[in-house]
Amino acid sequence: MCGIAGILGATDLDQAEKDVRAMIGTLAHRGPNGIRVERVGNAVLAHARLSIIDLEGGWQPLHAAGSTVIGNGEIYNYLELIEEFGLKDKLTTGSDFEPLLHLYAMEGEKAFARLRGMYAFCLIGADGRTWLVRDPFGIKPLYVQRLADGSTAFASEPRSLPRGELVPARAKEILALGYSLCPQIVEDGDGFVFRFIHRPDPGDEFEVVPPGIAPIYYEGGGSWLAERPRISGDEDAAIDALDRVLENSVMVHQRSDVPYGLFLSGGIDSTAIATLMSRLNQRPVVAYTCGWDTATVLKEGAHDERGAAEKVARALNLDWRETVFTEADFWRIAPEIAWALDDPTTDFACLPTYKLAEAAKGTLTVVLSGEGGDELFGGYGRYRRALRPKWLGGRAAEPQIDAPFLKDGGASALQRWRDTAEHAGGATPLQRAQAADIATWLPNDLLLKLDRCLMAHGLEGRTPFLDREVAAFAFALPDRMKVRGRYGKWILRKWLERHCPAAEPWAKKKGFTVPVAGFIAPRAADLARTIPAHEGIRQVCDPDAVRAVFTDPAQAHNRWPLLFYALWWSIHIGGMARGETLEALLA
């Protein structure tokens, strides 16, 4: 995992190189092992490297078969591609990205569909074509901007690009949904959060053509929703098949020349990954779990996952390590997260994720995590509600907006979500709900959170559930193997029952919560004075309604989104140093 940046179609290469060096400098946290900048024709490319595979020879940009590539992420099936296409004698490095250049020489952009991994890359081909490509799930970030001289800039984070003003519609989405959506084609200065910056959708593959000929156009990028025959109703056979596909995914996700481990919550998804890592490794696998300090648990009744995680760790002989999140951590970490999330999400799960990354730094470089299990195998309670008839409480599996402080109550954000979800795909009602989450919530919240919180500490996050083979298997399953009665992730639970009974897969699980209301409560009175008057909040919120959030205990659950957004706005729009933001809000 790395940081990439560049300018394509530059008219003044000297100025472009100066600009790109400044761009990649803002991404140094993503590539602590070093930075390289090169001119390639009329382009300038830069790469900040976090060394994972081929530590000595894998530096980028990479050149082979007349083409050049810089990439962020990992291509997990590079060994299989080398074998399948007889590339071994053509390679000069052990990099997972070099085989792509040889495949491109053979079959052009069709090669992109062969990749299995997480990636965002720029490829300048020997055929004179230039491509920007993002993986089908959007695990790795990419941002693009057409500059005034007609050239195209791109980067792993928007902090590297010239930012226009905030798009008000995106601000409403952040506060209502917890993340922003993005129009596919940027018109009239619209953008993902900042005007004139575009965030490509997961799976986008598009060609950057010379200025004056045509704009950026899309090639109808890769899809995770593979066409595959439906799996029969033989449950035992399906569990055996799940075992094979998950083990293979975890195996390729472990490919690394540096230490790897996992984040273990004790829930179904991370426990499944831990079970397979334990099977595939001779030495005990390092696993980190975050819990809450005793005072917070007693005060807020927050669910602490350490008990379940420790039970699993003992059963699997993991090298289990715990870290504790305190109220002091909350106030220390909140501004740091606001700085790291230049593409913002108000998901409170960022807090323990950041603390886990902080704890793992220095011991691990690669971390496997359970993102995607709920979306692929039907884990969310709202999926079960969506399958019930209305007279039994059924309702659409869409976000339940609770944002009385927004001037429109969040109605415009919900409509944007519905418009996006409408085109997500899926054959059955359950599949359509899953596809909607995979198109919206997953890349723009969960995966963004994982990327930024880990990269802030120079760690690479990997998600074995979000693999094209696992996804194809999951969507070929009958709905009843995903959701049955009061249980989601039915087949995963059956698999765990067989392979890790210590996980107690049928026990009633408490939902994951972060006790943010308890952390904020002692300072709520101060925030009731400053947050309603905050310039960024006033632009999209009703000040009186915001004040009520911080004075009415019944609305305490809405305090964190407002506090986080104020911190984020102060840093990324107001230009404040992250160390000054809380002091200003609590003054």
279, pLDDT greater than 80: yes
**Tokens (6 digits) for 26:** 């803002």
211, pLDDT greater than 60: no
User: Any idea what DSSP says for residue 361?
Assistant: B
Q: Among 225-229, 240-244, 279-283, 335-339, which is the least confidently predicted range?
A: 225-229
User: Any idea what DSSP says for residue 443?
Assistant: I
Cα 570 to Cα 575: distance, rounded to the nearest angstrom:
6
Phi, psi (degrees; rounded to nearest 5) at 12: -135, 100
Q: pLDDT value at position 297?
A: 58
Taking the CA atoms of the chain, what radius of gyration do you get in angstroms?
23
Cα 304 to Cα 326: distance, rounded to the nearest angstrom:
12
In angstroms, the Cα distances linking 552 to 197, 347, 582 are 38, 22, 22
Q: H/E element holding 294?
A: helix 294-300
Please, what sign has the CA dihedral across residues 517, 520, 523, 528? negative
Strands (E), 421-511: 460-462
Q: pLDDT value at position 391?
A: 78
Residue 325 CA neighbour count, 13 Å, CB half: 32
Q: pLDDT value at position 553?
A: 95
82, pLDDT greater than 90: yes
277, pLDDT greater than 90: yes
Cα 80 to Cα 478: distance, rounded to the nearest angstrom:
30
CB 120 within 8 A of CB 71: yes
The band of 528, judged by pLDDT with boundaries at 50, 70 and 90, is very high
Of the chain, the percentage scoring pLDDT greater than 90 comes to: 79
The band of 177, judged by pLDDT with boundaries at 50, 70 and 90, is very high
- As a whole number, the mean pLDDT across the chain is 92
Q: Among 2-16, 410-424, 481-495, which is the least confidently predicted range?
A: 410-424
Q: Among 49-58, 330-339, 547-556, which is the least confidently predicted range?
A: 49-58
Tell me the pLDDT tens digit for each residue of 400-432.
999 999 999 999 999 989 988 888 877 888 999
Q: pLDDT value at position 322?
A: 96
Tell me the pLDDT tens digit for each residue of 557-583.
999 999 999 999 999 999 999 999 999
Pairing of strands 260-263, 286-292: parallel
The band of 374, judged by pLDDT with boundaries at 50, 70 and 90, is very high
**Tokens (6 digits) for 452:** 């930024």
Of the chain, the percentage scoring pLDDT greater than 70 comes to: 93
Ramachandran class of 189: left when φ > 0, alpha when ψ lies in -120 to 50, beta otherwise: left
Report residue 505 CA to chain centroid gap: 26
Phi, psi (degrees; rounded to nearest 5) at 372: 100, -20
b or e along 379-412 (b: 16 or more beta carbons within 10 Å of the residue's beta carbon)? bbebbbebbeeeeeeeeebbbebebebbeebbeb
Domains with residue ranges and CATH for the chain: 3-161+197-218 (3.60.20.10), 235-503 (3.40.50.620), 516-585 (no CATH)
219, pLDDT greater than 60: no
Strands (E), 369-497: 460-462
The better pLDDT of the pair 228, 485 is held by 485
Phi, psi (degrees; rounded to nearest 5) at 126: -65, -20
